């Protein structure tokens, strides 16, 4: 009898989760990782599942998007989530971990499986058979070039320079209006006008706001590809008014009023629930983005479902390349998970590894693959990254803006979220029953 095997490339959060889901179901796993033979510029711990940035895995409250995602992962028996709780440190309602203890415990668990073979080497081309690629945002150049040969050269991005994304329902439309520049379009833009006084207040806060310090290996690559809005602003008081905040052709469609500056928001999805800030690629800290961008009148109460980022982040153009099973459209034996797949965040990466692992197991056993709907947070993230119609795909994290709306209209926000949570957990439990342990 032929042994069923999967190769997992990368022993980060997604790779370890995928390996665990496969191994506990009896699949043999070859787990490859560049460490400890070699390290990327961002890594230093020889253990698996190294957490490089913040040690916070966000809120555990069920009425939050991150809390719902954790509960769904818990129901699916996520190794990463279980270990995080075991290695948690006090952080209020957030789940934060002792990084060293967390990485050590994940490593020990993975190495305790006799059917997981760990291979320390740099993978430069994919092995034969079923493969889960979970090499993360710092995928090496040789493997990136190999992936390009499998994909298309224009569908693998080497940095993430993205604008904030806003929940449409939180935009103050009394201070905004729908219009395309010179009326050339089909109403794809929401315009947020500013008077001279409002603009100057915004401008001065923007150029003095706190920024995230880029790593040396990121600076040249990112700034050659995209100019952060706060850097553009330092070139002069009117630089933004002749750039992304240009008011020309954006007179109010009813009053015909002309404005000093206009921030445009462009549709991010096909149900008009999310909009991105055009030309607002930024390296400001998340707190500063919220503070400064809320000075724009129409965005004074806006909910930012995703803040702008600028960092080294290799990821694929998921809507073009990926099925909602995490398989490549042109090769069903190759699964892409982790940040490489277009998800953003620790738990989101974990989720992609979990679903990839379960689906690789189902694929090998010729069973129907998992296909969660957008009624769940897991399904909402997957369906967003694989169907997003934005002109330039941006990675996405968990948020209620991408979840399917309820069939009934509920004004009470707490009750509304509770019903969304109940509906999601019911579907996840039904999926688990169909898959089995």
Instruction: Report the half-sphere exposure of 354 (CA within 13 A, side-chain side).
Output: 28
Q: Quick check: 202 pLDDT over 80? A: yes
Say if domain 162-310 classifies as CATH 3.30.360.10: no
The pLDDT of residue 304: 94
Per the model's pLDDT, the better-predicted residue between 37 and 376 turns out to be 376
The pLDDT of residue 153: 56
Contact 197, 256 (CB under 8 A): no
Least confident range from 22-26, 240-244, 361-365: namely 240-244
Task: Give 235-275 pLDDT, tens digit per residue.
Answer: 889 989 988 999 999 999 999 999 999 999 988 766 778 88
**240: its two tokens:** 């933004």
How is 378-405 classified by DSSP, letter by letter? HHHHHHHHHH---SS---B---GGGSPP
pLDDT band at 437 (very low <50, low <70, confident <90, very high): low
Class of domain 5-158+313-435: alpha beta
Task: Give 49-107 pLDDT, tens digit per residue.
Answer: 888 766 788 889 998 999 999 999 999 999 999 999 999 887 777 898 888 899 999 99
Comparing C-alpha atoms, which of 171, 134, 164 is closest to residue 283? 164
The mean pLDDT of 274-289, rounded to a whole number, is: 90
pLDDT band at 224 (very low <50, low <70, confident <90, very high): very low
User: Which parts of 97-248 fold into alpha helices (H)?
Assistant: 99-111, 141-150, 196-207, 216-225, 229-233
Q: Quick check: 225 pLDDT over 60? A: no
Comparing C-alpha atoms, which of 192, 348, 209 is closest to residue 283? 209
Per the model's pLDDT, the better-predicted residue between 159 and 119 turns out to be 119
The pLDDT of residue 226: 62
Contact 431, 370 (CB under 8 A): yes
The pLDDT of residue 51: 83
Alpha-carbon distance values, 138 to 258, 289, 317, 342, 349 (Å): 46, 25, 16, 13, 14
Q: Quick check: 186 pLDDT over 60? A: yes
Task: Give 389-404 pLDDT, tens digit per residue.
Answer: 766 787 888 998 899 9
The mean pLDDT of 318-326, rounded to a whole number, is: 94
The mean pLDDT of 416-431, rounded to a whole number, is: 93
Single pTM value for the model: 0.75
> Would you kindly state where each structural domain of the chain is located, as residue ranges?
5-158+313-435, 162-310
* Residue 163 CB burial class (10 angstroms; 0-12, 13-18, ≥19): buried
pLDDT band at 356 (very low <50, low <70, confident <90, very high): very high
Where in 294-360 does DSSP place strands (E)?
304-306, 309-311, 315-316, 327-328, 331-336
Residues 141 and 41: their CA atoms lie apart, in Å, by 13
Contact 146, 126 (CB under 8 A): yes
Tell me what percent of the residues of the chain surpass a pLDDT of 70.
90
β-bridge pairing 94-97 and 56-59: antiparallel
Residues 178 and 188: their CA atoms lie apart, in Å, by 8
**3-state class of 156 per DSSP?**
strand
- Give the residue carrying structure tokens 């553009």: 232
């Amino acid at each position: 009898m032929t042994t069923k095997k999967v190769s997992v490339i990368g022993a980060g959060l997604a790779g370890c989760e995928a390996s665990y889901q496969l191994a506990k179901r009896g699949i043999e796993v070859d787990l490859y990782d560049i460490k400890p033979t070699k390290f990327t510029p961002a890594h230093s711990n020889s253990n698996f599942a190294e957490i490089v940035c913040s040690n916070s895995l966000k809120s555990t409250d069920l009425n939050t998007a991150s809390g719902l995602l954790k509960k769904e992962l818990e129901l699916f028996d996520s190794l990463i989530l279980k270990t995080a709780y075991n290695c948690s440190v006090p952080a209020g309602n957030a789940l934060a971990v002792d990084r060293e203890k967390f990485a050590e415990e994940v490593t020990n668990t993975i190495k305790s499986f006799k059917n997981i073979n760990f291979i320390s080497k740099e993978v430069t081309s994919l092995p034969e058979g079923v493969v889960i690629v979970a090499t993360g945002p710092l995928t090496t150049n040789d493997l990136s070039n190999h992936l390009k040969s499998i994909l298309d050269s224009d569908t693998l991005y080497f940095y993430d320079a993205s604008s904030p994304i806003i929940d449409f329902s939180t935009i103050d439309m009394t201070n905004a209006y729908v219009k395309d520049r010179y009326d050339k379009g089909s109403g794809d833009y929401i315009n947020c006008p500013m008077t001279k006084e409002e603009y100057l207040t915004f401008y001065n806060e923007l150029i003095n706001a706190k920024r995230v310090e880029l790593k040396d290996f990121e600076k040249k690559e990112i700034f050659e590809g995209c100019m952060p809005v706060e850097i553009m602003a330092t070139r002069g008081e009117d630089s933004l008014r002749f750039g992304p905040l240009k008011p020309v052709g954006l007179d109010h469609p009813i009053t015909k009023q002309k404005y000093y500056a206009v921030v445009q928001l462009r549709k991010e999805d096909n149900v008009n629930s999310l909009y991105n800030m055009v030309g607002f690629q930024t390296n400001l800290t998340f707190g500063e983005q919220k503070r400064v961008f809320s000075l724009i009148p129409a965005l004074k109460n806006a909910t930012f479902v995703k803040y702008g980022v600028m960092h080294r982040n290799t990821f694929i153009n998921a809507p073009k390349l990926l099925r909602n099973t995490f398989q490549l459209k042109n090769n069903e034996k190759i699964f892409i998970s982790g940040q490489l797949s277009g998800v953003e965040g620790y738990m989101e990466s974990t989720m992609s590894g979990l679903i990839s692992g379960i689906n690789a197991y189902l694929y090998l056993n010729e069973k129907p693959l998992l296909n969660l709907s957008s009624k769940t947070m897991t399904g909402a993230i997957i369906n967003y990254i694989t169907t997003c119609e934005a002109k330039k795909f941006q990675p996405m994290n968990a948020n209620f803006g991408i979840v399917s709306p309820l069939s009934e209209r509920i004004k009470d926000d707490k009750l509304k979220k509770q019903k969304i949570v109940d509906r999601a957990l019911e579907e996840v439990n039904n999926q688990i029953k169909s898959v089995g342990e």
